Amino acid sequence: MVKLFATKKKEKILDFSSSWYYLCDQKGVPCDGEIFFEDEYIVINSLENKFFLNLLYEIEGFGKVMVRTELLSLKKNTYHLNDVLINGRIKEISGLISRLKKESIPVSNTWLKDFYNAQKKRNYSQLMNLGEILSLKSARYLLRLKIINGRMKSFKFGGQAFGLIEHGDAYKKRFVSFYDYATAPFYFFLTRPQRNKTDWKFTDKIVDWLSSENIPIKGHPLVWFHQAALPEWMKLLSYEELKHFIQQHVRETVLRYKNRIHIWDITNEFPTIDANALNLSINQLLELLSIISKEVKRIQPEAYRIINISDIFGSKSYIHDIPSVPPVYFLRLAKKRGIEFEAVGLQFYTGMRKEFACREFLDIGRQLDEYVSLGKDLHLTECEIPSRHDVDPECFFSADHPEVAGKWHKPWSEKIQSEYLKNLLITFSSKPKAKAFTWWTFTDKGVHHDIGSRFIPFGGLLRRDLSPKPSYIMLNNFKNEIRQTKE
């Protein structure tokens, strides 16, 4: 058992009742453990001898974001939370600086001096800001090299196209002028409402219109086992019946659209428990993934197969035999089994539910590097960030206030949404093999009515009158900037 003394002042006990927290092992992989609060202490039990604590934490002068302690040991019974957070940040920045030097990325003496002074003062807010600044500066440097070398000319910007039918001509005009490709819906609840009946009407309307406008299309998702996406009849299938159906479903779907769709999210959220309504084991999911991957390639040899991942930090997972397991661990298992895929798709949402905790950019960059290590193309397949610090009663998470998931420097606003998104784009697109970015909800217009409509509070790039927010303008400028070869 480890206990962390969690008071800033004797008279003020920190309130963690709305926090989100999880443990990682020595390698940074999420691990099992029990965390609870006892008076002024955070108490941790784990089978690991050493571990990191990650928690959503408010830092004066920086924001309310996920932070990580230094490595904690069962050999030492009691720590002070503030000390282990500061030590953890110092080690993170030291590691970043060492990596930058190793990769011959310029590290200015000013940065080193600032880091030395922040360490000396043990000022957590300064260390948080400095770590993020260093991470973003290095990302900008790497992105600039990619732009100079012309490696960003093919980077794509996409949008979810589910609202094309209902939002009218003005919406369609904005969509066509803004996006390079579109994500079309292939959810079971739309296409397979009954066991012996296939319904392509809604999907066909979207695919037909996108094809008429010569917009490249990605099919999403071929297979997804979330409770909200499954018709009732599918929940009654045996595993053998499920395997047979999945193979038949993939065959029929790809044959129908193979002349118009070449990019597929072949699976969605496989290693997470909330997308496992059929209670499948990891081995069963891997077997199904292999069947799907092979069948897509057999029917459409030129197909581009993406495994789409949610909870990319693995904060709801640990290594065991059933979901949830850490997503990088799952993908490494897939590669070890010889399962073929061209890309990893990463979802990035914040602003609803505490488990979608706000992240700062050193943290984000570090996690993206885990996916870089897989050697596959990377796509940000689903992204959305709030533009107001308020409840949005007309979105999917209609009861959630963004505060529960934290905030980046200041409460969410249109300006903060734009600044955060730009830094996210810089961080992601600077990585090797980063290929595409998809924003999920284009507009705040409309009321959520199904799983593909408005998602998080005020998460659109357009307001309800379809006028552009600063994020829309920024993203358009960013797209033009990275496609110009610079000397």
CB neighbours (10 Å) of residue 303? 19
Residue keyed to tokens 């609060």:
37
C-alpha to C-alpha distance for 253 and 200, rounded to whole angstroms: 10
8-state DSSP, 276:
B
C-alpha to C-alpha distance for 186 and 224, rounded to whole angstroms: 9
Q: What topology does CATH give the domain 150-482?
A: TIM Barrel (3.20.20)
CB neighbours (10 Å) of residue 149? 11
**Quick one: pLDDT at residue 12?**
44
Q: Which residues of the chain have pLDDT under 70?
A: 7-18, 449-453, 485-487
Contact present, 308 and 345 (Cβ < 8 Å) = yes
C-alpha to C-alpha distance for 153 and 146, rounded to whole angstroms: 9
Contact present, 26 and 53 (Cβ < 8 Å) = no
Q: What is the DSSP string of 69-99?
A: ---EETTS-EEEHHHHHHHHHHHHHHHHHHH
Residues 6+ apart with CB under 8 A from 265: 183, 218, 219, 220, 221, 222, 306, 307, 308, 345, 381
**In one letter, which amino acid is 70?**
E
**In one letter, which amino acid is 442?**
F
C-alpha to C-alpha distance for 72 and 364, rounded to whole angstroms: 22
C-alpha to C-alpha distance for 347 and 269, rounded to whole angstroms: 9
- Closest C-alpha to 310, from 360, 276, 350, 270: 270
Q: Three-class SS of residue 51? A: strand
Beta bridge partners of 306: 265, 343
**Quick one: pLDDT at residue 354?**
86
Q: What is the pLDDT of residues 417-461, one digit of tens each?
A: 999 999 999 999 999 999 999 999 999 988 876 655 688 899 999
**In one letter, which amino acid is 152?**
M
pTM for this entry:
0.95
Beta bridge partners of 7: 13
β-pair type (34-38, 41-45):
antiparallel
**Quick one: pLDDT at residue 13?**
47
Q: Where in the chain is the domain with CATH 3.20.20.80?
A: 150-482
β-pair type (2-5, 78-80):
parallel
C-alpha to C-alpha distance for 23 and 28, rounded to whole angstroms: 9
**Quick one: pLDDT at residue 450?**
64
Q: Name the token pair of 435.
A: 């290929």
**Quick one: pLDDT at residue 228?**
86
Contact present, 207 and 261 (Cβ < 8 Å) = yes
Kind plus residue range of the DSSP H or E element containing 374: none
Residue keyed to tokens 């080690």:
91
> Which parts of 103-227 fold into alpha helices (H)?
109-121, 124-148, 164-178, 188-191, 201-212
Q: Name the token pair of 415.
A: 């300006």
C-alpha to C-alpha distance for 81 and 3, rounded to whole angstroms: 9
**Quick one: pLDDT at residue 168?**
86
Contact present, 171 and 152 (Cβ < 8 Å) = no
Q: Three-class SS of residue 316? A: coil
Residues 6+ apart with CB under 8 A from 52: 23, 24, 25, 28, 68, 69, 70, 71, 72, 88
158-180 burial, b if ≥16 CB within 10 A, otherwise e? bbbbbbbeebeeebbebbeebbb
